Copies of this chain bind each other. A is one copy, B any other.
Amino acid sequence: SSHATGYNSNRILAPYSVYKGKAAFSLTPSLPTFTKLHSGAVVVDRRGSIMVIFMHAIGDRKYDWENRQRFALSATEVGSLLTMGPQDSCEFFHDPSIKSSNAGQVRKSLSIKPHANSNGYFMNLTVVNNLLNTKEFFSVPVTAAEFAVMKTACSFALPHIMGWDKMTHQQSTGGTVGLQS
């Protein structure tokens, strides 16, 4: 059956995308993975995140998917986004090579800054790669309405990327599990 062909063959993709003149970005929830311990308990193996993908515009409504850059927002970074008021800003720093021999060679920073003349924001990504000697910068203006969609969708997704949906549903699905008879 198609289920036997594995996870990737049935992957559902529904990113929330904001396409603007010079660049675009999209948000996609990335669920945690779990691992079963000898005790039988199932614990989080790799944490979930909200994956943000930036692309440069390379023509009229065309974006450079090949050279996209990624930034995975952790649960706590999503919490920062959720608390932002109209004048607030925030900035996150990631090192994709942390704990490897290349630590410090690539530095990524994602910042969200309020727009001076509206109640929207700028989503900015800077990627400095000392190995390739490159520096990339993406900046996408986000309207207040688009940011409201981001907040509502991220608020919905947060318990899922934390794995809390699995904890709250585990007793529901097992029939009499958790019920005394």
Contact = CB atoms under 8 A, between A and B. Distances in A.
Interface string A41-62: 1111100000000000000000
A123 to B, nearest CB: 15
A14 B152 contact: no
A70 to B, nearest CB: 16
Contacts of A149: 75-76, 78-79, 158, 162
A27 B161 CA distance: 15
A128 interface: no
A92 B55 CA distance: 28
A68 B23 CA distance: 40
Interface in A1-46: 2-3, 5, 7-14, 16, 28-29, 31-36, 39-45
B11 A179 contact: no
A29 B148 CA distance: 18
Contacts of A29: 164, 167-168
Given A14-B167, A164-B14, A181 B145 contact: no
Given A10-B42, A34-B179, A149-B162, 18 more contacts: A11-B170, A12-B34, A13-B42, A13-B43, A14-B32, A14-B162, A14-B164, A14-B166, A29-B168, A33-B178, A36-B179, A36-B180, A76-B145, A79-B147, A79-B148, A152-B155, A157-B164, A157-B168
5 contacts: A13-B43, A14-B166, A16-B162, A29-B164, A79-B148
Interface of A: 2-3, 5, 7-14, 16, 28-29, 31-36, 39-45, 75-80, 82-83, 90, 143-149, 152-153, 155-160, 162-172, 174, 177-181
